[in-house]
Amino acid sequence: MMKRYSIERDREFSENAQSGSIASSLINSEIVSMSEIKMPKFLAVESALQDSKLAVTPSELHGLLTGMISGGLSLDDQTWKPLIYDYTNDGMGWPDSAIQVGTQAFQSTIEELTSEKIALSLLIPDEKETLMNRADGLSEWVNHFISGLGLVGLKMDNASDSLKEALLDLEEIARLGIDEDDDLEEQEALFEQVMEHVRICVLTIHAELGQKVHNDASKTVH
């Protein structure tokens, strides 16, 4: 059975986050409409990756990208591409169709994580899919988010307690699964709760390690 994550626990956790206002807003479901963020559709990404013969799923790809961005990857260059190539394709470049959806996902994720609006997409199978498939997608996403942190050289020596707790929670969530013999309706409710906790953990890590985007006004001040 999927582990229960209490909303009260999430509230306590978010108070320690570097971006507490973001986390608490997520808990209160004040999430901006995803229509404002041009994240590619799951099926479009899946089709591009499969057509390109790449052994990576949309959930794995987006988890990797989000992990690298949250871990402090430079946002001003193309560093992410060789990292992705090495991890997914033995260092060989991707076909244009795959790199196009990858770039779109990368840029959309940067916008989400650095915007003043509260938004964090998880590129996993949608509600039309079975709960089992969605849970598998979330597990893939979280596992590869952690891998993405490693790709950019995450160091835990000076990490805050909040970051360490967030990472431990993600490692535990990555191992969660759905029990077909249990109450699926109850597990679906718990699954949605776990997804919210994943968002909080990611925002906590990004708030501490991720690079910040400065707008033009701030640049002129400096």
CATH number of the CATH domain containing 93: 1.20.120.740
Q: Are 205 and 71 in contact (CB under 8 A)?
A: yes
Note the pLDDT of residue 214. 59
Q: Is residue 90 part of a domain?
A: yes
Task: Note whether residue 145 is domain-resident.
Answer: yes
Using one digit for the tens of pLDDT, what is the confidence trace for 57-101? 999 999 999 999 999 999 988 999 999 999 999 999 999 999 999
Secondary structure (DSSP) of 155-189: --TT--HHHHHHHHHHHHHTT----TTS-HHHHHH
pTM score = 0.82
pLDDT at position 210: 94
Q: How far apart are CA 51 and CA 54, in angstroms?
A: 8
Q: Is residue 217 part of a domain?
A: no
Residues whose CB falls within 8 Å of the CB of residue 26, separated by 6 or more in sequence, listed in order: 14, 118, 120, 196, 199, 200, 203
Q: What is the pLDDT of residue 183?
A: 85
Range of the domain at 25: 7-117+128-211
Please check whether residue 222 lies inside any domain of the structure. no
Number of compact structural domains in the chain: 1
Indicate whether 166 belongs to any domain.
Answer: yes
In a domain, 123, yes or no: no
Residue 88 lies in a domain: yes
In a domain, 23, yes or no: yes
